[in-house]
Amino acid sequence: MKLTHYTVSKYALISLQILVLVFVSPLHAKAPQKIQIQTVIDEAYNKFSQQNPGKNADYIPALAKVDSAYFGLALVTPDGKIYTKGDVDQSFSIQSISKVFTLALAMEEKGAQTILDKVGVNATGLAFNSVTAIEQNPARSVNPLVNAGAMATVSLLDGSNDKAKWSTLAAWYDKFANRQLSVLQDVYKSESDTNSHNRAIAELLVSYDRFYGDVDLNLDIYTRQCSVAVTAKDLAIMASVFANNGVHPLTGKRLMSSDNVARVLAVMTTAGLYENSGQWAYQVGLPAKSGVGGGIIAVSPGQFSVAVFSPRLDAAGNSIRAQQAIDYIAEQLDANVF
């Protein structure tokens, strides 16, 4: 057969495609990405492990006793790969990070409109335990990530008694973590003994008809949810459901609707780091949520979830090293959603 110019270039093109498929995609596109994520996690750890500014939360006495040297980073991709560095198996209390998972359950049970109408979704711009935030808003509207809104969200959950409500909530958290979590009893007791400020907030909401059940019962459930023991690895796995549009990357099961995922991420963007949320969005550009136990989760939709644990906090109650590490990781992985 006489090879025409056309057939030569056709064969050349097919060979090139085969070369690309066989060699470039599996070896040169996927493998470096895997190496690159681990490199970035290692770099973030090394960059910030020698400095540890801030101070542990101490208004809950048990938190002051946590070793402030802990530093753990975990990242999960939607295909279920887990990258870790440092103290990623150390348990600590989930604290306010619990609020996003409780919000997710309330949305699934009651619908997104109920949260908008009965709790509110605007950022308060004030501290997480602010009474002023309630007082200055004529509708007494807050958001589900500050203490007032989080307790109101708990009060909306299904369950006629303490046992029923807690078992549903605990099972919900377990589904996200893909394992059975437990409560850190010392933190639960310590916070229960000292939570008169939260009780005052709940009572204030009752006075404005913005609390939807018994104060004792719902305050107790809220306190228990904040005392759930998690590791940085657990949190990255839990947050991976938000990064994967509501489907758990490790089980393939859908836990929540993609509409509700979008709404949870919206509230995380505007209020996840309280009065510092604007600066965080400006600088890092990822929906995130902090807890006074020292954890922070952040979500890059469709790309990854990341969790960092480091107990020392800034004045707003956000872990300083966790913010630094996530800022670095987001920048290196070009993850800013904006």
Q: Which residues bind ligand DON (CB under 6 A)?
A: 95-96, 128-129, 147, 191, 198, 226, 290-292, 317-318
Which residue lies nearer to ligand DON by CB, 40 or 219? 219
Q: Which is nearer to ligand DON, 128 or 166 (CB)?
A: 128
Nearer to ligand DON, 213 or 317 (CB): 317
Minimum CB separation of residue 102 from ligand DON in Å reads 12
Shortest Cβ 60–ligand DON spacing (Å): 7
Nearer to ligand DON, 77 or 143 (CB): 143
Distance CA 196, CA 235 (A): 28
CB of 263 to ligand DON, least distance (A): 20
The C-alpha atoms of residue 73 and residue 235 are separated, in whole angstroms, by 10
- Taking 3-state DSSP, the helix, strand and coil percentages for the chain, each rounded to the nearest 5, stand at 55, 10, 35
CB of 37 to ligand DON, least distance (A): 27
State the residue for tokens 């040169």. Answer: 28
Looking at the Cβ atoms of 10 and 197, the one nearer to ligand DON is 197
**CB 98, min distance to ligand DON, A:** 8
- Alpha carbon distance 85, 45 (integer Å): 7
For residues 222 and 99, what is the distance between their CA atoms, to the nearest angstrom?
Answer: 9
Size of the chain in residues: 338
- The angle at the Cα of 180, spanning 225 to 215, to the nearest 5 degrees, equals 20
What would the DSSP string read from start to end of 106-174? Answer: HHHHH-HHHHHHHT--S---S-TT-SHHHHHSTT----TTSHHHHHHHHHHSS-SSHHHHHHHHHHHHH
Q: Which residue has the tokens 């048990």?
A: 62
**Shortest Cβ 129–ligand DON spacing (Å):** 5
CA 232/CA 238 separation, integer angstroms: 10
Cβ proximity to ligand DON: between 198 and 300 the closer is 198
